[in-house]
Amino acid sequence: MTREVPLLVELAWRCLECHRYGRCGKCTESGFCPVVEAARTRIRAWRRYRSVFGWRR
């Protein structure tokens, strides 16, 4: 049985990967991007949920 990562978490990881090598239109000159912050927050929340409730079958 494979354990699936939720779609929104997978998209958050892809967002971080894209921002590693480039910028989007919302990135500021200082390097801050609200899209990246939202992606990081989503991943942290998913990890917190997973650590409390564990993997569900």
pLDDT digits (tens, 9 = 90+) for 10-44: 999 999 999 998 989 999 999 899 999 999 999 99
| Cα(20)–Cα(13) distance, integer angstroms | 11
Q: What is the 8-class DSSP label of residue 35? A: H
pTM: 0.81
Number of domain units in the chain:
1
Domain with 36, as residue range(s), is 1-20+31-57
Residue 13 lies in a domain: yes
Residue 26 lies in a domain: no
| Cα(52)–Cα(9) distance, integer angstroms | 17
Max CA-CA distance within the chain? 45
Residue 25 lies in a domain: no
| Cα(55)–Cα(27) distance, integer angstroms | 34
Residue 3 lies in a domain: yes
Residue 42 lies in a domain: yes
